[in-house]
Copies of this chain bind each other. A is one copy, B any other.
Amino acid sequence: MPLNNKYLNMELIDGKKVSETIKQQIAAEVEQIKARGEKVPHLAAILVGNDGGSVTYVNNKVKACEQCGFVSTLKTFDENISEETLLKTVEEFNNNDDIDGFIVQLPLPKHIDSQKVIESINPNKDVDGFHPMNVGKMMIGLPCFKSATPAGILELLKFYNIETAGKHCVIIGRSNIVGKPMSVLLSQKGWDCTVTLCHSRTKNLEQVCASADILIAALGTPGFVKADMVKEGAVVIDVGTTRVPAPEIPRGWRLKGDVLFDEVAPKCSYITPVPGGVGPMTICSLMINTLQAAKGKKA
């Protein structure tokens, strides 16, 4: 890794590598399932409309299923689909015993009540972990499907044997899919961080961030975290994935994280790059949840 030569004390957290490793482990387990003549895990996805990002995400999920040896089903709808038809499909998937878990790719068109759709999913098949039953169980510390990004970050910390107990973890951003669940998970027994959850109303944010042993940036503002906000030796996890214009490359955009990588990395003990850090772990978590769903357990 050339970066490790440049920043001697820093280790790059390679989400792509971790994700590939976990998918290979899953694939090996699926081979054994097949060898025993048991049912192969089956993930289904519902995609409404043809938003570029959503299409890419869903295709990547289908591809990950192939890598893991899962069966996958993709059901697509025109963006004008009625809420009723969508709910009917959810109900079909709930009742289809062959489907172990499924997702409804978000965002949905404005005329559809997303929360209603999420709550119509059988919590035991809700491998995205967005159903309030799963969120509530996560909060209480019960077995559940954890939402993909926070669960993926936990996998990264585990893979790199990063000590969390008693560490001060500062999270920037209080979203329902990253900041809030991350704060709950890292506070729980086994992880045992002292977590401070920051947001747009936080005062002295720079100072709070600079006190973090583990800093998780999940606010979606490219380059927000600068070197003076990071303590020497900190672990920095960058959840930001904003598309910024990049006319110099054919697709015209590139992903930018919330952390100014070049100036922050030299101060870190560990840091995730963007892309290739947290991003690949999201789909990996979905695969873990699907395997657990197939085994009748929650991750």
Asked whether A80 is an interface residue with its Cβ less than 8 Å from the other chain, the reply is no
Inter-chain contact B199/A187, CB cutoff 8 Å: yes
Q: CB distance A184 to B142 under 8 Å?
A: no
Interface string of A179-204 (1 = CB under 8 A from B): 01101100110001011111101110
Q: Is A290 an interface residue (CB 8 A)?
A: no
Binds B, one of A61-69, A103-111, A130-138: A130-138
Contact A187 B194 (CB under 8 A): no
- What is the predominant secondary structure among interface residues of chain A facing chain B? mixed
B183 and A197 within 8 A (CB)? yes
Within 8 A of B (CB), among A111-130: 115
For residue A168, which residue of chain B has the nearest CB? B203
The docked-state distance in angstroms from the alpha carbon of A195 to that of B194 is 10
How many residues of A are counted as interface, with CB atoms below 8 angstroms from the partner's CB atoms? 35
A210 within 8 A of B: no
Q: Which chain A residues (139-194) contact chain B, with CB distance < 8 Å?
A: 139-142, 165-166, 168, 174, 176, 180-181, 183-184, 187-188, 192, 194
Minimum distance in angstroms from A157 CB to a CB of chain B: 15
Task: Pick the contact of A132: B142, B181, B202, B203 (CB < 8 A).
Answer: B142
- In the A-B complex, the 8 residue pairs with the closest CB atoms: A132-B136, A136-B136, A135-B136, A192-B201, A196-B196, A194-B202, A166-B203, A132-B137
- Closest residue on chain B to residue A198 by CB atoms: B194
* Residue A208 lies at the interface, judged by CB distance under 8 Å to chain B: yes
Known: A183-B197, A196-B194, A197-B187. A202 touches B139 (CB 8 A): no
